[in-house]
Structure 1
Amino acid sequence: MTTIHSPSDRSAGAPSDLPPLTEYGLLGRIGIGVTRHGRMVAIIWALLVVGLGVFAPRVEAELSGAGWQANGSESVGVRELAVQHFGGTGGSAIQVVVHDSAGDVTTGTGARVIAEATAILGRDDRIGEIVAPQPGMSISADGSTAVILAGAGADTNEMVRAATDLKGELEDLSAGSVTVNPTGSSMLWSDFNEANLSAMLRSEMISWPVTLAILVLAFGALVAAGLPLLLTLAGLVASAGSLVLINQVVPVSIWAMNFAMMFALALGIDYALFLVVRYRAARMGAHEDRAHAVAETMDTAGKAVLLSGLTVLVSLSAVMLVPSPAFRSMAAGIMLAVVFVLAATLTLLPLVLHRLDDRINKLALPWVHTGEHRSPRFEAWGELLWRRPVLFGAAALVVLVALAAPVLGLRTAMPSIKVLPEDASARVGYDVVQAAFGDGAPGTLQVIAPAAEADATASALAADPGIAGVMPAMPAADDSGLVLIQAVPTVDPSDPGLAATVDRLRADLPSGAQVGGAAVENLDLKTQLDASTPLVIGVVLALGFLLLLIALQAPLIALLGTLVSLLSTAAAFGVARLVFQEGWGTGLMGFEHQGFLDAWAPVFFFAMIFAIAMDYTVFLLASAKEHYERSGDPKEAMVGAVAHSGRVIFAAGAVMVAVFFTFSLAGPLPPKEMGIVLGTAVLLDAFLVRLVLLPVLLRLTGTAAWAVPGWLRRVLPEIHFSHG
């Protein structure tokens, strides 16, 4: 039977035992303020969403997939020198592969196609020097394959756009036995963006209805369930438009929007869940008037949401320590989306709740009790954990440690060509080049050296066992006194042996020689990521602990809350090793594993997983602190926290898992990694760590969990979660 209280069930005024509205904290007063100035708040948000929303549809076309580089590295320096002195024939150049399966590609139809492709490239201002196919260099020994090299006349982001604009026209030149397939780093990112967009759209079509269904079950009413989605949509539209505008000043990776979309949807629902449940309890359960219900909701659940959002922002800000444009723009994109969602949750949602009031319970399910904030089922679960802490805590710990154990053998490398669909132009061209010129041909090294060291550099390259062939030195067209020597490795660009070859060359080549190329840029980025990962992890842990300490005023439980977040993170990476490195379940999930996890995953996913984990930690421990402040009883703190926040954490976790796992259905490999790793992390964190292990720790530590030294109390700002 649905329990919905109408206005007639309450007294006309506020109950006499409620505090004056002026006695609420800052967030409570903000909640009251937005309801009193509702029209102005609504107009501001409408202008914001519409104004930025005008730019939002351009986000996929404007943002780029480039920026995956280690700023300041030797390989990036080589690419910049290639642009300045060698017509852009560096790592971001476009390679047009022309292949004739019937014979000599340099005669007949093949010759015509090569001439037409060259003309098409020449008409684009973004293309630098065009190097025609040359025997012994870019024409295969059997004459069936030729490569036109189109130098980069613009930055890496613009070259990805150029690849997108040119590939259709170039592919259309295919005729009869002659095929044309553009490839190279810029084309790879263009193809990836295209496949990624299509896959993301398919994932969204699945995730939104699944999310709505879970929310209907969680809220018990269709109107209430729709609020988080509307808020999230407002945040997404505003952040997408902002990213387009920011991209006019600083290049932004398309991955910033992909990650922002996932995070905004997941966190927006989390935050809205927490506030709506608390408002309904105050309004329909405690019979408070609308103003007091909004004020209490904001001062309790709103405070937890704000602290959670700050924790997420702090965790992601640590990724800015990685000196790579792609990483920094991805982190900034997610942070921007979180800011918009957080702002909407703390300003727009209180207004909507105040205006809709009882109408949020429209179209309710028959078994729902809208005023029920303290869940009897989760209260019973909390009581069971209190009676049997060791049994349940040990079981959760065993599962998490078992799943985390494989992380010790985790291997990482930069993404291979397998991230693209098999029919993508860049992958087809890659395979043709490899078949015609050797395994290492797609990862040709580019060595720039002073002209005086040209012979010594060429000799050292030819003598290296990791080099299959060396092309003649090409002098710069200007008076820079530099030469460019291209060398073909013996192994595929994703083979670990290439790193050893590059390290050896950098040690053995003359001092003025610099080694670069697209494959080497990947290696340098991996080196930078390996070096940055411990720093990012350390900063995330330190800042996460500091925020929990400030919020909870309790050093022991703040430390334990931070440390247990590592368990779900380690377990998620253990599962990632089994799936993406060892290939478990890849046939069922329909993708080809690379034999390693992408090198960007540990540093970036750690920050994301930790941010999500701390999200749930703040929800649970803020509720526990509220109960402890009211009662001084550690049992009531633990059981009350599980009873009041368990249902929200359970529902929010279910939504996040659904969102992330639907994104794992995306075609390219990186979104699958995102979906599976993040989905697994949330699954383990919400249901094992936050609803089992952390409550058990509250039980075992008792009053010590909330103890704070006098000197620390004097240093920390005063923060409370309870009223009255």
Structure 2
Amino acid sequence: MRTDTSPTDGALARLARFCYRRRRLVLLIWVVGVVAVALAGFGYGAAPDNDFTGGGSESARAQQLIERHFPEQQGDTLTLAIKAEKGIDDPAARRKIEKVLAEIDGSPVTGPMISPYQDRNLVTADRRIARTTIPLSAKEVDKTEVKPLVDLVKEASDGTVTLGLGGYMAEKAETPPQGAAEGVGILAAAMILFIAFGSLAAMGLPIVTALLAIVGGLALMKLVGYVVPAPEFTLVFGAMIGLGVGIDYALFIVTRYKDSLQDGDDPESATVKAITTAGHAVLFAGVTVVIAMLGLMVMGQRLMTGVAVATSVIVLVTMIAAVTLLPAFLGFTGYKINSLRLPRRTSRRKRPGGAPSPQRPVLAERWAGVVQRRPVIAATLAGVALLVLAIPTLSMRLSQPDASVQPHDRSSYTSYAILSEGFGPGYGAPLIFTTRLDSPGVDLGPVVQAVRDTDGIAQATPPRVSADGQAATFIAFPTAGYQDEATAKLVHRLRDSVLPDAPGGRSVLVGGPNAATIDLAEESGSRLPLMIAVVIAISMVLLIALVRSVTIALQAAVMNLLSIGAAYGVIVAVVQWGWFGPALGFPAAMPVTTWVPMMMFPVLFGLSMDYQVFLISRVREEYERTGDTRAAVARGLARTAKVITAAAAIMIAVFTTSLLGPDIAVKQGGLGMAVAVLIDATIVRMVLLPAVMELCGKANWWMPTRRGSKRTPAAPAELGEQVGV
């Protein structure tokens, strides 16, 4: 038996050997470190920041003006919606309604409110539907303090009186925790690993490594929030990404470790070889994902910068765990990596003398041969399929979820439905107009009347002057709802023609949550191409440096764009068009959440580049050995198909489990990434890539050189040391 055939030089080899030999110390440092960071992060970490209204948009400037001159309007509010079949004046209905109003008014978290029995403007003409606004007593109120009010309203509803409590804090209070979604993802990943490795020991290492890294990474994310705030969804999204890449990175290293043991290496040598080959690939892959995630900073949005930094932190932690903690675990496991095996037949027979007989071509290699015999047809069919899937992307609309798209059993949706019936769908999408006053006597009447006369406006309130006399504000309610495209068109019409044409209207700003959502969506849509260009450019430079081929880097960029475009198209068809939406957990057709395409692209581009590197490194190694592109592609697919398929299956399982959670936006992102990984692992890797590489032939390995210089291809052994699976 060989005792040491793995590379012995280099920083990674020394790190692997240290972690293997000092495994108890390394494990102790990791456990103590994770516990300490978890106590600090989860106990004292920064609170999430969900305010996307910053920046220089008109709605942001309007909000700044309101905060400066109308401090009494700060803080969250709740809206109580009431529907009585016999009218709110029916004695039985009135007793129930007034009892609920009294209990809400007596809550320590609510401020003074006006009863609908005191103001006729809060009741419809037929007296069947009423509303009232409930201010929260403090600027910062926890959702756990609002939950009893939601429960009170739901319990008070019956067949004669229906009540609903709406508002941002009410939605948060009744949104259940993510629950067992991550647990289901871990279970699915464990099953995939068990099938791939065939042993419980090999299955457990990637999962335990990933879980420790995720706990530490999530805690660090919360601490980093003090420097760069991030929205609430970052924690859930970070857990999904960390779980996926953490298990995948450990999977690649464990696979290489097992292969080295089978080749006759002892456990320490196998560990060193696994880290210096697959571990090197993991570091490159992780850096690619981090760089792609940091591309979100190009969006110029404060909270998306926080998302970029926070998710990069968790990817970095998983990378470090893969090359330090996992070698320590391998030191404890040794030859027992194959213990508790799944019974299976072996496909390799030994010749006399103990030498294994040549393996028959595996399925992936045979499939590659089929594609390579008809490359034009295969590439055309794959390309057309991806383009057809991407067509819905052309109609993508961006917005933020509101009560209208929540599950129909929630109080916030009940409130929305009652208010829409009684006061119109635009009641939940108010537009807040504000302006500075050059002098206290400025008459805003003509401006309010111009807005009131605009098609698409249901009503407008009289203007109100601030206590300091320096600003004024009024509210208008559109006839269309928060998610309707007509509302966005109305905002533009008001800004572009109605207000400029009204006397004194040029200085009036249109703001409020509805306008802020519209501004955010348009700003994100306009900056998305720049982010895509930056991520592609940087990733291509990294890939060229690694595989030393401009052609392959261009192929990777185009194929990744096609697969991500197809995933965008599926998201639009399901979420926005409503195809299979209810079956997948989307109660109603809705625009795509603004941050979902921004988050999906860098994550998926980084992950696709990972798989590209793992596959192309093997293809390049075979090509340098044989000079035959067709054989190199077929053998490269055969050598990586199992591990890449398992890695993709884990990603799909983890991302798909987001559909079990309650957050509509996270569901959209999880579904889109699961679809993208599925497309990448099937249509792109199994059809388009071998077909295109067959068509390119020798041009696959084109790399420009300086005049007079001669490019020296990397030797197979050298390339294998640089990247390996």
Residue 464 of structure 2, aligned match among 474, 481, 486: 474
The answer as to 2:672 corresponding to 1:677 is yes
Secondary structure of 1:447's counterpart equals strand
The equivalent of 2:312 in structure 1 is 335
The answer as to 2:166 corresponding to 1:183 is yes
Secondary structure of 1:664's counterpart equals helix
The equivalent of 2:427 in structure 1 is 441
Residue 74 of structure 1, aligned match among 51, 58, 63: 58
Please tell me the residue identity of whatever aligns with 1:569: I
Give matches, 1:62-461, under 5 Å. Answer: 63-64=47-48, 66-89=50-73, 92-97=76-81, 102-104=86-88, 110-111=97-98, 113-120=100-107, 123-124=108-109, 135=119, 137-143=121-127, 144-150=129-135, 154=139, 158=140, 161-169=141-149, 171-172=151-152, 175=156, 181-191=164-174, 194-195=175-176, 197=177, 200-248=178-226, 250-284=228-262, 286-367=263-344, 376-449=362-435, 450=437, 452-461=442-451
**How many angstroms does 1:531 deviate by?**
1.2
Q: Deviations over 1:463-489 (max 9, x none)?
A: 222221111222223x15212211111
| Cα pair 1:91 1:185 within 8 Å, conserved | no
Secondary structure of 2:79's counterpart equals strand
Distance 1:492 1:558 in 2: 45
Distance 2:521 2:126 in 1: 36
Q: 1:96 to 1:213 in 2, by over 3 A?
A: same
The answer as to 2:483 corresponding to 1:494 is yes
The equivalent of 2:573 in structure 1 is 578
Unmatched runs of 5 consecutive residues or more in structure 1: 1-9
Secondary structure of 1:722's counterpart equals helix
Distance 1:289 1:468 in 2: 78
**How many angstroms does 1:77 deviate by?**
3.1
Please tell me the residue identity of whatever aligns with 2:410: A
Please tell me the residue identity of whatever aligns with 2:224: I
**How many angstroms does 1:221 deviate by?**
1.0
Q: Deviations over 1:121-145 (max 9, x none)?
A: xx44xx7886776736544444541
Q: 1:556 to 1:92 in 2, by over 3 A?
A: farther
Residue 629 of structure 2, aligned match among 634, 653, 672: 634
Residue 43 of structure 1, aligned match among 9, 28, 40: 28
**How many angstroms does 1:587 deviate by?**
4.7
**How many angstroms does 1:547 deviate by?**
1.4
**How many angstroms does 1:341 deviate by?**
0.9
Greater shift in the superposed pair: 710-719 or 90-99 = 710-719
Q: 1:414 to 1:32 in 2, by over 3 A?
A: same
The answer as to 2:8 corresponding to 1:21 is yes
Q: Deviations over 1:675-697 (max 9, x none)?
A: 32211111110122123322333
Distance 1:424 1:711 in 2: 66
Q: Deviations over 1:449-470 (max 9, x none)?
A: 2352532332222222222111
Distance 2:79 2:714 in 1: 62
The equivalent of 2:502 in structure 1 is none
Q: 1:205 to 1:19 in 2, by over 3 A?
A: closer
Distance 1:347 1:453 in 2: 70
Please tell me the residue identity of whatever aligns with 1:52: V
Q: Deviations over 1:49-92 (max 9, x none)?
A: 21123356669x97547233353322233334333432453695
Q: Deviations over 1:325-367 (max 9, x none)?
A: 4433333332222111111111111222233121111111222
Please tell me the residue identity of whatever aligns with 1:94: L
Distance 2:676 2:66 in 1: 43
| Cα pair 2:297 2:308 within 8 Å, conserved | yes
Distance 2:36 2:387 in 1: 49
Q: 1:661 to 1:577 in 2, by over 3 A?
A: same
> Alignment identity in percent?
30
Secondary structure of 1:491's counterpart equals coil
Q: 1:669 to 1:428 in 2, by over 3 A?
A: same
Secondary structure of 1:367's counterpart equals coil
Q: 1:655 to 1:295 in 2, by over 3 A?
A: same
| Cα pair 1:28 1:295 within 8 Å, conserved | yes
Alignment size in residue pairs: 692
| Cα pair 1:554 1:707 within 8 Å, conserved | yes
Distance 1:403 1:279 in 2: 39
Please tell me the residue identity of whatever aligns with 1:428: T
Greater shift in the superposed pair: 211-220 or 373-382 = 373-382
The equivalent of 1:654 in structure 2 is 649
Q: Deviations over 1:658-678 (max 9, x none)?
A: 222232233443233223221
Unmatched runs of 5 consecutive residues or more in structure 2: 349-355, 500-504
Distance 1:717 1:271 in 2: 28
The answer as to 2:495 corresponding to 1:506 is yes
Distance 2:712 2:481 in 1: 56
| Cα pair 2:653 2:674 within 8 Å, conserved | yes
Please tell me the residue identity of whatever aligns with 2:457: I
Secondary structure of 1:148's counterpart equals strand
Distance 1:247 1:715 in 2: 47
Distance 2:372 2:34 in 1: 47
Cα RMSD for the two superposed structures: 3.4
Distance 1:722 1:469 in 2: 70
Q: 1:236 to 1:368 in 2, by over 3 A?
A: farther
Please tell me the residue identity of whatever aligns with 2:321: A
Please tell me the residue identity of whatever aligns with 1:312: V
Distance 2:712 2:666 in 1: 41
Q: Deviations over 1:99-126 (max 9, x none)?
A: 5555447975545543543443xx44xx
Secondary structure of 1:708's counterpart equals coil
The equivalent of 1:6 in structure 2 is none
| Cα pair 2:624 2:714 within 8 Å, conserved | no
The equivalent of 1:721 in structure 2 is 719
Secondary structure of 1:363's counterpart equals coil
Distance 1:272 1:714 in 2: 38
Secondary structure of 1:146's counterpart equals strand
Secondary structure of 1:699's counterpart equals helix
| Cα pair 1:661 1:679 within 8 Å, conserved | yes
Residue 600 of structure 2, aligned match among 580, 601, 605: 605
Please tell me the residue identity of whatever aligns with 1:89: Q
Greater shift in the superposed pair: 309-318 or 29-38 = 29-38
Q: 1:382 to 1:565 in 2, by over 3 A?
A: same
Give matches, 1:504-543, under 5 Å. Answer: 504-507=493-496, 508-509=498-499, 510-543=505-538
Distance 1:716 1:427 in 2: 66
Please tell me the residue identity of whatever aligns with 2:448: A
Greater shift in the superposed pair: 95-104 or 219-228 = 95-104
Distance 1:516 1:91 in 2: 16
Q: 1:714 to 1:413 in 2, by over 3 A?
A: farther
- Normalised TM-score (structure 1): 0.87
Distance 1:290 1:226 in 2: 17
- Normalised TM-score (structure 2): 0.86
Q: 1:682 to 1:467 in 2, by over 3 A?
A: same
Distance 2:391 2:538 in 1: 26
Secondary structure of 1:585's counterpart equals coil
Distance 2:222 2:12 in 1: 31
Q: Deviations over 1:552-580 (max 9, x none)?
A: 12111111111111111122122223322
Distance 1:250 1:440 in 2: 35
